[in-house]
């Protein structure tokens, strides 16, 4: 009898142990591994005391300078956005720049050894010292403009844009030409859920962001051949250059040029155009690009932010317009 009781106890122990084994932390690891490969996973809560100062790499001087976060932001906002833009647009820029900086610091991808971020706009964010900034403004507006920059940063102190509790990769650009772009159409990958294509009315008022570039047919061929040696084109054919597809942001997604099918982003890069939103016309021996907008088109448009501010939107409304499903939180 004792033998049967012992067998029964062993059987019951096994029955209760199996569920415990199969609901152990192994399952949680599998869930974590299903995240977007393009986005580094970071914790949703941080000790922001460690991000009160920024290690800024000055590219020209090749040196690192340590600055308080908001003091660093004075140099970013004054460099990235015209000081005569609407105050709410400047405040939106301050929050976007703070978020972008914190995202880079938290990710800590080691792009710049010994530094968190650099002062080159083509790499990270533009930055300028107070002295250099003031020297570029007319004397009669220096104090007014600098005070606008300081107050824009100070009045949004500690504000950060988050998505699911994490700081976002807060991309921004000069002028969207009326619609922003999804990152997948610029850099590939699966993109970010908070960076969608959105419309902005009023950007056509900033005519200085429309541009034109004309090259000869010979220059056109030579320029493409530097990148694609197998390039051929017959200009006698009407459809030798043909737009095949547009993006949601009204930029060229793919274009057939001779024997090549290129993305609008690549054509922009090859010819040094301001945007992938362009038209191509052929006239006699010349080819002209008519370009709308300035920049990659992802995230907040700076002229769009100014336009929205002129329409009475505050900085929080501007941010929510350009970044989908986000929250603005205090650090």
User: How far apart (Å, rounded) are the C-alpha atoms in residues 285 and 220?
Assistant: 10
**Domain contains 263:** yes
One domain, residues 56 and 157 = yes
114 domain residue, yes or no: yes
Residues 89 and 139 in one domain: yes
Mean pLDDT across 132-156 = 97
Do 59 and 149 belong together in one domain?
yes
Q: Do 68 and 115 sit in the same domain of this protein?
A: yes
Q: Answer with the residue of higher pLDDT: 28 or 223.
A: 223
Once rounded to an integer, what is the mean pLDDT over residues 63-92? 97
Q: Is the pLDDT of residue 10 over 80?
A: no
pLDDT band at 27 (very low <50, low <70, confident <90, very high): very low
pLDDT for 25: 32
The pLDDT value recorded for residue 17 is 44
**Is residue 242 included in any domain, yes or no?**
yes
pLDDT at 38: 42
Predicted confidence band of residue 307 (pLDDT cuts 50, 70, 90): very high
Band (107; pLDDT cuts 50, 70, 90)? confident
Domain match, 219 and 308 both? no
Residues 303, 287 share a domain:
no
Output the average pLDDT for the chain: 87
pLDDT tens profile 178-194: 999 999 999 988 789 99
- Would you say residue 263 has pLDDT above 70? yes
Q: Which of 126 and 7 is assigned the larger pLDDT? A: 126
Q: How confident is the model at residue 111 (pLDDT cuts 50, 70, 90)?
A: confident
Name the pLDDT band for 46 (thresholds 50, 70, 90): low
For residue 84, how far is the Cα from the chain centroid? 23
68 and 150 belong to one structural domain: yes
Q: Which residue in 173, 218, 164, 216 sits closest to 192, CA to CA?
A: 164
Residue 255 domain flag: yes
Q: How confident is the model at residue 15 (pLDDT cuts 50, 70, 90)?
A: very low
Same-domain status, 287 and 323: no
* Domain presence at residue 5: no
- The answer to whether position 96 is within a domain reads yes
- What is the tens place of the pLDDT at every residue in 192-218? 999 999 998 899 999 999 999 999 999
pLDDT above 90 (res 67): yes
Q: What percent of the chain has pLDDT over 90?
A: 78
- Least trusted range by pLDDT, from 204-208, 219-223, 239-243, 263-267: 204-208
Residue 133 covered by a domain? yes
* Domains: count for the chain: 2
Domain with 268 in it: 211-291
Please enumerate, as own/partner, the contacts of 205-210 that have beta carbons within 8 Å and a separation of 24 or more. Answer: 205/307, 206/175, 206/303, 206/306, 206/307, 209/174, 209/175, 209/177, 209/274, 209/292, 209/293, 209/294, 209/303, 210/290, 210/291, 210/292
Q: Cα separations (Å) of 199 from 135, 175, 305?
A: 36, 12, 12
Tokens of 201: 């009315």
Indicate whether 167 belongs to any domain.
yes
108 half-sphere exposure, CB direction, 13 A CA radius? 7
pTM of the prediction?
A: 0.84
**Domain identity same for 150 and 217:** no
For residue 45, name the pLDDT band (cuts at 50, 70, 90).
low
308, 163: one domain: yes
Residues 269 and 302 in one domain: no
């Amino acid at each position: 009898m004792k033998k049967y009781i012992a067998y029964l106890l062993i059987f019951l122990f096994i029955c209760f142990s199996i569920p415990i084994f199969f609901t152990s932390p192994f399952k949680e690891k599998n869930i974590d591994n299903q995240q977007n490969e393009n986005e580094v996973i970071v914790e949703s809560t941080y000790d922001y005391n460690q991000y009160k100062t920024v290690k800024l790499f000055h590219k020209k001087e090749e040196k690192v300078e340590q600055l308080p976060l908001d003091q660093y932001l004075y140099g970013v906002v004054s460099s990235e956005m015209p000081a005569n833009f609407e105050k709410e647009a400047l405040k939106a820029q301050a929050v976007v720049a703070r978020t972008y900086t914190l995202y880079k610091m938290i990710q800590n991808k080691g792009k710049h050894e010994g530094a968190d971020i650099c002062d080159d706009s083509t790499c990270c964010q533009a930055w300028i010292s107070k002295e250099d900034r003031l020297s570029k403004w007319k004397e009669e507006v220096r104090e007014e403009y600098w005070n606008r920059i300081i107050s824009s940063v100070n009045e949004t102190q500690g504000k950060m844009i988050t998505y699911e509790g994490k700081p976002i990769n807060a991309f921004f650009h000069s002028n969207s030409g009326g619609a922003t772009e999804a990152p997948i159409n610029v850099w590939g990958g699966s993109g970010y859920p908070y960076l969608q294509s959105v419309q902005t009315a009023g950007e056509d008022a900033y005519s200085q962001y429309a541009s034109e570039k004309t090259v000869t047919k010979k220059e056109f061929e030579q320029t493409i051949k530097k990148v694609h040696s197998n390039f051929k084109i017959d200009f006698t054919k009407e459809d030798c250059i043909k737009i095949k597809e547009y993006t949601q942001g009204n930029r060229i997604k793919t274009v057939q040029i001779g024997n090549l099918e290129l993305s609008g982003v690549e054509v922009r890069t090859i010819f040094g155009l301001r945007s992938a939103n362009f038209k191509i016309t052929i006239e006699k021996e010349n080819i002209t690009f008519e370009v709308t907008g300035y920049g990659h088109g992802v995230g907040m448009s700076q002229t769009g932010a100014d336009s929205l501010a002129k329409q009475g939107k505050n900085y929080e409304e501007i941010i929510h317009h350009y970044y989908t499903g986000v929250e603005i939180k205090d650090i």
